[in-house]
Amino acid sequence: MKKRVVITGLGVVAPNGVGVQAFTEAIKNGTSGIKHDPQLEKLAFSCQISGKPIVSDELALEYFTPLELRNFNASGILYGVIAGMEAWKNAGLPIETNDIPDWDSGTIFGTGTSGIDKFRESIYKIDDLQTRRLGSTAVAQTMNSGVSAYLGGKLGLGNQVTTNSSACTTGAESILMGFERIQAGLAKRMLVGSTSDSGPYIWGGFDAMKVCTFKHNEHPEQGSRPLSASASGFVPSSGAGALVIEDLESALERGATIYGEIMGGNCNSGGQRGEGSMTAPNGIAVQKCIKDALENAGITAGELDSINGHLTATSKDAFEIENWCTALDLKGKDFPYINSLKSMVGHCLSAAGSIECVATVLQLHNDFIFPNINCEDLNPDILSLIDTTKIPQIAIVKKMKYIAKASFGFGDVNACIVFKKWNSNF
């Protein structure tokens, strides 16, 4: 029999809150983490606002030694290690210091790039004939698997330790990969999640593509507007989200807090066929991903209480809602509640799915639906499909059983996960 998989630890580094407690309060209150970015203004970006987590030197020193931080210039690894180790501690798991690794525990921790600022620093030093001044950790900071390697070493993980990468689908995909490994009995627990670097060298390409907003530079907190008629592009941001997931038997045996259960999900691709492309989703594939996720989870569309959408504040928002309606065969007031964390944190790119999954689990565990902010002027194309009451603009206190979380990424790749509220009676 397949193992049941539950969530026992959470960690997050987000633009509107570092740490689970601060993040929970922020999303309940609809607090934005978007601010003016002087660096983007100096570099003449069209979009001069962003979402960057605030990580103090003191906090960094709780997770890295002074020696490790010497010549360190990889924000994504910093965020990922903090979120991952918070999730590990939140799960009540020890950090072993003996010579034997934990064979039952591993990590799949994704990213889009690693240490892009370190890469830039390296290029200049090499060109200036200062290669030996790069430091001994330049490779670890810039290899794509740097974040999982750092976490694997700090936690002594002896099971699979790897990094996945699937654009904006990365975080959701990492969770499903870890879920499948535990289901198959290949690991007792996995630290899953994803991270993204901060800064102009990550965000510049999107600004050049004109998919980032430029209309809200004077009012940063109003800039990220999923589901809104006045949405004009996404706000670039960064951070990391992490979950400890483990088989139910292991969690019960050690008396762990259980935040929820992963019922199932699906990853697929539209193959960049039909209306799909490198940058646009194939609607048929999106619909199939959602349908197959529900089937894998063993639930019907009508059982969904809420959806945490991808919803980036671009012209594709209405198309996403249309795909949900078609896949679920639900419209109007029959449609589940839906929200987008990006209204508060912007688009965290490769970290988006994992941070949003942390928010999804927090809603289930704490019986609330976080609000959509900046959508007082709801998109009429969306309102022609679902009722306005299904797009909450203030937090709702509500007990729920099932929430779906979806992520759709460049390359025409999709992921959808179904989470269930934990009930010890079943």
Q: Which residues pair with 419 in a beta bridge?
A: 262, 403
Cβ neighbours for 353, distance < 8 A, ≥ 6 positions apart? 168, 169, 170, 171, 172, 173, 174, 175, 194, 241, 405, 407, 415
Contact 331, 362 (CB under 8 A): no
Q: Using the predicted structure, report yes or no on whether residue 79 has a pLDDT greater than 60.
A: yes
Q: 95: number of CA atoms within 13 Å, CB side?
A: 13
Check residue 424 and give its pLDDT: 61
Please state, for a pLDDT cut of 70, what percent of the chain lies above it: 99
What's the N-to-C CA distance of the chain in angstroms? 16
Express each pLDDT in 96-110 by its tens digit: 788 999 999 999 999
Handedness of CA 131, 133, 136, 142 (dihedral sign): negative
- Label the pairing between strands 189-196 and 161-162: unpaired
Pull the structure tokens for residue 307: 């959806």
Express each pLDDT in 266-280 by its tens digit: 999 999 999 999 999
Q: How confident is the model at residue 196 (pLDDT cuts 50, 70, 90)?
A: very high
- Label the pairing between strands 413-420 and 402-409: antiparallel
Question: Which secondary structure element, helix H or strand E, spans residue 185, and what is its range?
Answer: none
- Three-state SS sequence of 256-323: CCCCEEEEEEEEEECCCCCCCCCCCCCHHHHHHHHHHHHHHHCCCHHHCCEEECCCCCCCCHHHHHHH
Check residue 426 and give its pLDDT: 53
What's the rounded Cα separation, in Å, for the pair 47 and 55? 23
Q: Could you give the domains of the chain?
A: 5-253 (3.40.47.10), 264-420 (3.40.47.10)
